[in-house]
Each structure stands twice: as structure tokens, then as C-alpha cells.
Structure 1
Amino acid sequence: MIAIIDYGMGNLRSVHKGFEKVGVKTVVVDSPGQVDEADGVVLPGVGAFADAMTNLRSAGMDGAIHRAVAAGKPFLGICLGQQLLFETSEEWGINEGLGIFPGRVRRLPEGLKIPHMGWNQLEIQRPDPLLAGIPDRSSFYFVHSYYVDPAEKELALALTEYGVHFACIVGKGHVYGIQFHPEKSSSLGLKILENFGRVVEGC
């Protein structure tokens, strides 16, 4: 079973429906114990970084996420969920994240139309099971004003250019983060969700 974490800030229904369309069973959960019992975990999210961390901590979900990652369970952060995997964010001051990946969340450069909204291409940096069947330079749907800047550049599975080349997909082991919305990115976005389901099945 794949748990989709409900911490009051996620686009839960669309993510759940996305997995459903490709035949991957997911359950929306709101307690740490349910995360502990899951085979894989998804952290979606929209909104402010600091508020998200406050909600995760107050629900005890930060500990459950760390336990899941330590146990080697496949984990997928989507949009804000990707950003929360990193150590700090510059959004409205410096805020501490989950610290699973080293690096910082930064605001997109001045002079650009913000948020970065719409379809943009990814540049695949290395093969990974999450990207099986995804052609290089495929387009996906973005809505964000901040981006992740990994301290370890090898974390970047794919890059996107919008004023700066930024990591739009990160991954290490079975832990992944995606800046765009796969659930809103047509058939190729759904393919990524399907691939994550296969990663969970293989563990």
C-alpha cells in the first residue's frame, strides 16, 4: 500500500486520482502510524514551506517520514513535497526542512514571470527506474516560485531551464522529489506515477 500524506496542504485528490488512473493503489493517510505501515509514501503539497513544516511536525509526520526513509521505503515528494526534503528554504526567511537531502530551496531569479506556470521541458541527467519510458526533452506542467538547489549535484535526475537550470527531479536510492505536477502532466506524468508504483512493488 502507498500512503499519500494528508497534512492540510496537499492536492490530495488529484494525486490520488492520478495513481488510480494507472492502476496503482494509494490511500490518503493522516496519522504517523499509517505511514509506518505503508510500503511506499507520497508527500504532495502546495503552499508555504514554513506552514507545511509546522503542520508536519504538529502531526508527528516528520518523524514518520524519517522512519520511512531510514527503512528504505520508496518515497516521492511532489512540488512543495520535493522542497520539504531539503535542509532549508529561503521562502519568507530561512526555514528548516526535513533535511533528507542536503541543499537549499531558493527563489527563482528576479525579472522572470513568477510563478513559473505552464509546460516546460526536462533534461534527463541519468537513467533511473522513475524515468523509464520518459523521453528526454519531454514537457511537464509546473507551478512554483521556488526551486531546489542540491548541495550534491548528482542528486539531480533531470533539469529544467527557467532563468536558471534547476533540478526538477531529484533522487537517491528510493527517495525522489519532483518539482512539476505529474498528476497534471498528461500521459507522461501518469507514467512517472506508474513507475513509482513499480519501484514500490519491487522493494
Structure 2
Amino acid sequence: MSPTVAVLDYGSGNLHSATRALAAAGAQVLLTADASACLDADGLVVPGVGAFAACMEGLAAVDGPRIIRERLAAGRPVLGICVGHQVMFDRGVEHGVEASGVGVLPGTVERLHAERLPHMGWNVVDAADGSALFAGAESERFYFVHSYGVRADADVAWPEDARVTWVEHGGDRVVAAIELGALSATQFHPEKSGSAGARLLRNWIATLS
């Protein structure tokens, strides 16, 4: 039987493309804001586009931070995508507005230093050693579109068991993905990354039980 995946519906865009991609990768997918459904599913996906603070407001409106923290505390898998990745960090600073994140990852999401923004297009990533997400796709290209992220020069104290994948853009070295316990998160859009993104989603779905 295929694992169940809840896609958290909190008003952010790009929900349906993520839902279709997860279904194509082999999951039974439910698009929902219901807390019980999100807690009970084998996996939870938190997508997101737009501004950090606005996404956090939307998450708070459906009790998203509590749902995410409860799942992770119980060792239940969560996948964040794009701004859904960014909100997992301690805080975000965008257009002079500072907002608290879910806080399950250390670090601050801030504007990149690269001259050309947004960072838009296809990039090879520097996949973390032992990554489950990137198994078989370590040298593939993934689709990015963002102007904010967690930079390598921000001197974050990563947990010892964190697997951090990086991407280079315009002289900035930025977190492209992270795996920590039951949490996986990608700055890029796997649902827009063709066969490489489909492989990554299949890898994540294979970890669900």
C-alpha cells in the first residue's frame, strides 16, 4: 500500500503542482489544513512561495508550527519546499521585516549577496555525504527560484547529525537542502525539477512508514 502524504494547505501557492508530483512519485496525497490528518499521515509536505513573514502568518492560522514540531518530536517525516524550507529556520529577514520561523533548524534566512537576483534556473548541488534525499541524483540539476536563503558565511552551528547540501550562486554558497532527523527540506522546487526532482521525491517517499 502506498504511503499517505498530507500537503499542508495554508494559503501558499504551488500546492497543486506539489500534490501532482508527489502522487506521480507514488504517494497517496491529501491536500488539507486539518491538523489530525496532517499529524496522522505517513509524511507531511510544507510547500511555500512568496514572503517569509506572510508564509509564517498563513502557517500560524492553521496551527502549522505546532503540527510540524509535534511530528518531528515524534520522529514523523516532514518535507519543506522553497519557503516551506525557509520557515523551518529560526528567523527570516526580508525587506527589513524580521519574522520568527518554526525554529526547528538554526540560522537566519536573509537576502543573498549575489548581484543577479533572483537566483532562478537550474543548478547542480553539492550533495551531503550519506544523503538519503539525493541518492542516485547527486550530480543532477535542480530548479531554483529565490532571492533569500541561509548563507554559508552566516556561521551557523549545525547539529552534528545534520546533512547539509549546498549550491553556489553569484559567489554565495547557500543551503540547497538539509536533512536532520525526520526533517528534510529543499530550497529548490523538486516538483519543477523534472526527472531529478521526481527521483528525490521517490527517495523521500521511500523513507515513509
Is TM-score (shorter-chain normalized) higher than 0.5?
A: yes
Percent identical among aligned pairs is 38
User: Which residues in structure 2 correspond to 1:97-108 (within 5 Å)?
Assistant: 97-108=101-112
Aligned to 2:14: 11
Deviation (angstroms), 1:157: 2.8
Whether 1:82 aligns to 2:85 is yes
Aligned to 2:145: 143
CA gap of 1:61–1:135, structure 2 versus 1, over 3 A, is closer
Do 2:122 and 2:141's aligned partners in 1 also have CA atoms closer than 8 Å?
Answer: yes
Letter in 1 for 2:187: Q
- Count of residues in correspondence between the two structures: 199
Q: Which of 197, 200, 204 in structure 2 is aligned with 1:196?
A: 204
Do 2:125 and 2:138's aligned partners in 1 also have CA atoms closer than 8 Å?
Answer: no
Letter in 1 for 2:166: L
Deviation (angstroms), 1:153: 7.1
Please give the alpha-carbon distance, in whole angstroms, between the structure 2 residues aligned to 1:41 and 1:19: 11
- Ranges in structure 2 where 5+ consecutive residues have no aligned partner: none
Aligned to 2:39: 36
Please give the alpha-carbon distance, in whole angstroms, between the structure 2 residues aligned to 1:23 and 1:84: 26
Deviation (angstroms), 1:166: 1.1
Please give the alpha-carbon distance, in whole angstroms, between the structure 2 residues aligned to 1:135 and 1:171: 14
Please give the alpha-carbon distance, in whole angstroms, between the structure 1 residues aligned to 2:12 and 2:125: 26
Do 2:6 and 2:41's aligned partners in 1 also have CA atoms closer than 8 Å?
Answer: yes
- Ranges in structure 1 where 5+ consecutive residues have no aligned partner: none
Please give the alpha-carbon distance, in whole angstroms, between the structure 1 residues aligned to 2:78 and 2:116: 31
Q: Which of 155, 165, 176 in structure 2 is aligned with 1:168?
A: 176
Please give the alpha-carbon distance, in whole angstroms, between the structure 2 residues aligned to 1:153 and 1:42: 22
Please give the alpha-carbon distance, in whole angstroms, between the structure 2 residues aligned to 1:118 and 1:166: 15
Q: Which of 134, 151, 167 in structure 2 is aligned with 1:131?
A: 134
Deviation (angstroms), 1:87: 0.3
Please give the alpha-carbon distance, in whole angstroms, between the structure 2 residues aligned to 1:43 and 1:22: 17
Do 1:156 and 1:168's aligned partners in 2 also have CA atoms closer than 8 Å?
Answer: no
Deviation (angstroms), 1:156: 4.5
Q: CA RMSD in A?
A: 1.5
Please give the alpha-carbon distance, in whole angstroms, between the structure 2 residues aligned to 1:153 and 1:74: 18
Letter in 2 for 1:152: W
Deviation (angstroms), 1:135: 2.7
Please give the alpha-carbon distance, in whole angstroms, between the structure 2 residues aligned to 1:153 and 1:60: 26
Do 1:45 and 1:80's aligned partners in 2 also have CA atoms closer than 8 Å?
Answer: yes
Deviation (angstroms), 1:125: 2.5
Q: Which of 160, 165, 185 in structure 2 is aligned with 1:158?
A: 165
2:149 is paired with a residue whose SS is strand
Aligned to 2:117: 114
Please give the alpha-carbon distance, in whole angstroms, between the structure 1 residues aligned to 2:39 and 2:184: 18
